[in-house]
Structure 1
Amino acid sequence: MFDDMDELATDYDDLVRNAREGKGLSQSDLANELNEKASLIRKIERGDTLPSDQVQTKLEDFLEINLNAQGGSSDDTEWSGGSSSGSYTLGDVVKRKD
C-alpha cells in the first residue's frame, strides 16, 4: 500500500516559500490562486503541517516545483548490504546509534 507513495522533501517548506517569493506573491495571493486558506500556506511554509496530496499537486503545478524527495524511488541506490545469496540479517538493515 505505501510502496507507491512518494516521500515529501525534507525542505518542502523552503521550496514552497522560495518559489512563491520568486513569483512575487504573498501567502494570501498564493492561497487565493490555489483556492486554499492563507493559514494553510503559512503552516506549510513554517513546516508545521504537511500538504495533503491534493494541495501538494496544486502547489507543484502552480509554482512549477517538485516537492518529492530526491532518491525516494523504490530502487534505493544507497542500499548496500546483504550477502550474495540474497538473504539479509538484522545487522544488514539496522544502523546503531551509539
Structure 2
Amino acid sequence: MDELATDYDDRVRQAREEKGLSQSELANELNEKSSLIRKIERGDTLPSDEVQSKLERFLEINLSAQSGSSEDEEWSGGSSSGSYTLGDVVKRKD
C-alpha cells in the first residue's frame, strides 16, 4: 500500500469518535483485538496493510500520506492538464 500518513493515529481516533464507537466496538467490527486499536490510536504501532484497508473501508477515511499532504498544497505551478513545463519550475535570472 501507499506510505502511511504521519497523523494516521489521529485520523483513526477522530473517525471512530465521529461514528460514536469505542475502541472495543471498532475492534469487534473489524474482527481485530481492541489492544491493536489502542496501539494504533496511540501511534505505538503501524497497522498492517490488511488492517489499514479494514480501517479505511469501515471508517471511510484515507490513511495514505498522499491524501492532503502539505507538499501538494504548497505547489501552485503547472497547468490544469497536470503537465508541467520547464517554465513552471525554473525562475529566469535576467
User: TM-score, normalised to structure 1's length?
Assistant: 0.67
Amino acid at match of 1:66: N
- Whole-Å separation in 2 of the counterparts to 1:19 and 1:65: 7
Structure with more helix by fraction: 2
Structure 1 residue runs without a partner (length 5+): 79-83, 85-98
- Whole-Å separation in 2 of the counterparts to 1:58 and 1:70: 18
- Residue identity over aligned pairs, in percent, reads 80
CA displacement 1:42-76 (0-9 Å, x = unmatched): 000000000000000000000000000027xxxx9
CA-based RMSD: 2.0
The answer to whether structure 1 residue 42 and structure 2 residue 38 are counterparts is yes
**Structure 1 runs of 4+ off > 6 angstroms?**
none
User: TM-score, normalised to structure 2's length?
Assistant: 0.70
CA displacement 1:4-24 (0-9 Å, x = unmatched): x41100000000000000000
Counterpart of 2:7 (choices 7, 11, 17) is 11
Matched residue, 2:66: 70
